[in-house]
Amino acid sequence: MHAVDIIAKKRDGLALSQEEINWFIDAYTTDALPDYQAAAFLMAVCIRGMNRQEISDLTLAMARSGEMLDLAKLLGGYAVDKHSSGGVGDKTTLVVLPLVASCGVPVAKMSGRGLGFSGGTLDKLESIHGFNVNLTTEQFEALARKNGLVLAGQSKDLAPADGKLYALRDVTGTVPSLPLIASSIMSKKLAAGANGIVLDVKMGEGAFMTSLEDARQLAQMMVDIGVDSGRDMIAVISDMNQPLGHAVGNALEMAEAIETLQGGGPSDFREHCLQVAAYMLRLAGQGQRWTDESEARALLDEHLDNGQALAKFRQMVAAQGGDVEMVDDPSKLPQATYQVDVTADEAGYIAQVSAKAVALAAFELGAGRERKGDPIDLAVGVKVHVKVGDQVGPGAKLATIYANDEGRLAACRKYLDEGITFHREPVAPLPLFYDTIMG
Ligand code: URA
């Protein structure tokens, strides 16, 4: 086969065969093709699109470019996983994993670090002193078997083709292509080896997908890919116009996750976690258990309120070398030097709490990294105390800035002043979820 023929075929809008896709991905992963041909291929896909069969073939070819885990074998039965397309204040994994594991459903998950203004679960975990996210494959597997709960970085080279292609997409204007996004995300999920996957596709101005139509299309595409490779799939489309919960910033989000595991926490965040966890139980129940959603919800509610989910989280922290005193007393988590409140100048209804503005405000303080490997400040961030639709009076506390560098306060404040807006008339609250797609 010749790369140029495959590129030209896609350029002309024709469907590629499985053999052609496999050949191209294999050749690129093994450095047998130059970047310029892969870039031309990506641009052709970006402009011409792909049909369902091509997208599934591309995803599997990328998934098989590295190791494929067998989580079901490791966990001794059906394995369930979750994935979020990335949001502001999204600390869902920190709550949902121990919550689901506390119901007797083991979970072994590989997570990532934050990049740009979106946070990463590994960074949030590292706000607990000593917590080791760099487990060897043997350690990862041993903890999964022993405790039924492990959360770490990638110890194996999962979907290396995606790593190479993503870096190229980043510099060739080919990131915003639904088939490329869906295959990129799902190649890593398929390689991670779960039987059932709950996808949390964020929609809104603080998310990758800014329209409901695009979010629905992406969710459906990922569900189809999973189904085509024999996985059980549920995708929820959730709101990311305003931050999830109150806290944005690594240690602040960890504290909020612990508060939620203690039975408290912001009501929107708790509800979000319960819904995602209920779907994970539903998949893990394989049509035998938790077929009635209200039964699953009642169990999950109970485990948040009676400390069982928190105990599971504590066990995971101890097993991965973390300081459990920080779990027992979150005030021992990294703390910022300066705490500054942002207050309302006028009375009214909150019209917007821009997720993007809050993320940029936290980024300004040093909570995120611009490039892979950049250091971050775990203690800093923003807590937003209001939600769209809330009625506030003059002087009401809208947000608190947690900073270590006084010089960055003004710029951070500017983002918040512009991002939190008011109306005189009542404003409807934003929904938590827009849709659910079952596969
Ligand atoms: N996340 C991914 O892993 N890949 C994409 O293409 C976009 C978001």
Place of tokens 């490779």: 229
83 is catalytic: yes
CA-based torsion, 162, 165, 167, 169: positive or negative = negative
* Residues, the chain: 439
Same domain, 17 and 97: no
Q: How many domains does the chain have?
A: 3
Q: pLDDT for 14-46, tens place per residue?
A: 999 999 999 999 999 999 999 999 999 999 999
242, two tokens: 């305003």
| Candidates 82, 91, 124, 169; catalytic one | 169
Phi–psi pair at 261, nearest 5 degrees: -70, -20
Query: Is 434 inside a domain boundary?
Result: no
Question: What pLDDT, on the 0 to 100 scale, is given for residue 287?
Answer: 84
DSSP H or E segment with residue 151? strand 149-152
Three-class SS of residue 198? strand
The CATH number covering residue 352 comes to 3.90.1170.30
Which residue's alpha carbon is nearest to atom 2 within ligand 1? 185
124 is catalytic: no
Percent of the chain at pLDDT exceeding 70? 100
Separation between Cα atoms, residue 187 and residue 161, nearest integer Å = 9
Triad 53, 54, 56: Cα angle to 5°: 65
Contacts of 371 (CB under 8 A, 6+ apart): none
Query: Is 214 inside a domain boundary?
Result: yes
Q: pLDDT for 313-366, tens place per residue?
A: 999 999 999 999 999 999 999 999 999 999 999 899 999 999 999 999 999 999
Cα–chain center distance at 309: 20
Question: What pLDDT, on the 0 to 100 scale, is given for residue 276?
Answer: 98
* Domain, as residue range, for 43: 3-49
Same domain, 222 and 93: yes
Question: What pLDDT, on the 0 to 100 scale, is given for residue 156?
Answer: 74
Same domain, 318 and 358: no
Split at pLDDT 50, 70, 90, the class of 288 is confident
Amino acid at 103: C
| Candidates 162, 200, 228, 268; catalytic one | 162
Atom of ligand 1 nearest to the CA of 181: 6
Same domain, 148 and 214: yes
Pocket test for ligand 1, best of 175, 199, 202, 372 (most atoms within 8 A of CB): 175
220 vs 170, which has greater pLDDT? 220
Is the pLDDT at 369 greater than 90, yes or no?
no
82 is catalytic: no
Same domain, 339 and 324: no
For residue 185, the CA-to-ligand 1 centroid distance in Å is: 5
Q: What is the mean pLDDT of residues 402-423?
A: 97
Same domain, 123 and 37: no
Question: What pLDDT, on the 0 to 100 scale, is given for residue 144?
Answer: 94
What would the DSSP string read from start to end of 11-38?
A: HTTPPPPHHHHHHHHHHHHTT-S-HHHH
Phi–psi pair at 110, nearest 5 degrees: -105, 130
Contacts of 280 (CB under 8 A, 6+ apart): 80, 82, 96, 100, 105, 107, 196, 198
Pocket test for ligand 1, best of 85, 171, 184, 225 (most atoms within 8 A of CB): 184
Check: CB of residue 350 under 8 Å from CB of residue 389.
Answer: yes
Question: What pLDDT, on the 0 to 100 scale, is given for residue 113?
Answer: 83
